[in-house]
Amino acid sequence: MDAKRDPYSTWISETMLQQTRVDTVLGHYARWMQSFPTVFLLAAAPEQIVLSHWQGLGYYARARNLHQAAQIIVQEHGGKFPPEHKRLTALPGIGPYTAGAILSLAFHQPEPALDGNLIRVFSRLQNWEGLPQESAHWKSLYWNLATRFAEQSPPNLINEALMEFGALVCTPKKPDCAHCPIGDHCQALRLDLVHLRPPLRKTRAPLDVRGNILILHYQDKLLVERGTTGLLAKQWRLPMGSTAEDLIRALELNLSDIRKCGLVKHSITHHRMQLQVVFAKTQSDVLPPDPDENFQRQWIPLDRWQETLVNSLAAKAIRKWS
């Protein structure tokens, strides 16, 4: 990742990189900066346009938070990023890591930015058997060490170098210890425990989910819905249900041309989903009223579904049908 290090570019790239690999981010980042080159243009853009630029990256709250934070930065900070940890973390989507990254990389302040790379490097360097997520004790040890590094000069290069070192040399699997520039200082290497550092985190048991996903046409329109909780919350998505009958009954519509057109496998966090794709048509676009703002339905133009339906599950299902 070779992003410019002004505050806005740093904010966008570091947010995209949260839990997301560099190769996945590159294309999205270029397109984003093309469409929203400044915080002002991001703030002024419609939310759905912003979300469509996030298609395929996952964790869509990140895109909504970027949009909201941009509006706050424009309205309350005159379009300038506040160069203070407390005021940065007050913005939606900016936590301790991203605040530290912006402050050190863009503002050259001696602030720590502890990410997954640094955690791995430190765990090996110090042969620490704990993780910062585990307890306040480990948390302070990791952040204090990150702070000591950041207080070296210049902080932007120190933090950048630590992250690059973790990404290129001190990698999760097969770290290149033979050519490690700081191998002489590595406690885990000295004790031959590199393969045990950092310790494995306990994995969530996967949850098998079986059900149906509906592609419903009314003339040249497609039915979508959204809720405010659970998977793909606040995102427009295709209707899903445990059985096709449930799905159809909830709509209170007469359907025709019903046919099954394939099975979609898709994982969302620890949910392993296998969904039967059900295609149908209806002659009426009158939907049952939305129970409240927490659940909505709408018809969207079929040929422009990608503007609204921003998630990979829907894309997979529609690919099965077409």
Residues tagged active-site: 14
12: its two tokens:
């966008």
276 and 244 Cβ atoms separated by less than 8 Å? yes
Q: Figure out which of the listed residues 14, 125, 255, 280 binds DNA, where binding follows CB under 7 A.
A: 14
Among 5, 6, 9, 20, binds DNA (CB under 7 A): 20
Q: According to the binding rule CB under 7 A, does residue 226 interact with DNA?
A: no
- Contact present, 93 and 14 (Cβ < 8 Å): no
Q: Could you give the 3-state DSSP secondary structure of residue 218?
A: strand
The interface with DNA within residues 150-169 (CB under 7 A) comprises 163-164, 166-167
Kindly tell me which of 87 and 272 has the beta carbon lying closer to DNA: 272
Contact 239, 247 (CB under 8 A): yes
Among 96, 130, 211, 227, binds DNA (CB under 7 A): 96
CA atoms within a 13 Å half-sphere pointing along the CA-CB vector of 233: 9
Structure-token pair, residue 201: 């985190």
Restricted to residues 97-136, the positions that interact with DNA (CB under 7 A) are: 97-99, 101, 115-117, 120, 133-136
Give the helix ranges, DSSP H, for the chain.
Answer: 7-16, 22-35, 39-44, 47-52, 61-77, 85-89, 96-101, 116-125, 136-150, 155-168, 187-190, 244-251, 305-308, 312-321
User: CB of residue 118 vs DNA: minimum separation in angstroms?
Assistant: 8
Residues 238-297 that bind DNA (CB under 7 A): 265-272
Q: Is 98 helix (H, G, I), strand (E, B) or coil?
A: helix
Closest separation between CB of residue 134 and DNA, Å? 6
Q: Verify binding: residue 187, DNA, rule CB under 7 A.
A: no
Peptide bond into 154 cis (omega under 30): yes
Which residues fall within 8 angstroms of residue 98, CB to CB, at 6 or more apart?
A: 11, 14, 15, 18, 88
Task: Give the count of residues interacting with DNA (CB under 7 A).
Answer: 64
Q: 92, 211, 227, 262: which one contacts DNA (CB under 7 A)? A: 92
Q: Does 60 bind DNA (CB under 7 A)?
A: yes
Helix axes 155-168, 116-125, angle to 10 degrees: 80
Min CB(319)–DNA separation in Å: 11
Which CB atom, from 179 or from 284, has the smaller least distance to DNA? Answer: 179
In the bound state with DNA, the residue whose beta carbon lies nearer, of 105 and 253, is 105
Binding site for DNA (CB under 7 A): 1, 13-14, 17-24, 56-61, 65, 89, 92-99, 101, 115-117, 120, 133-136, 139, 163-164, 166-167, 172-173, 200-201, 203-204, 206, 230-233, 235, 265-272, 311-313
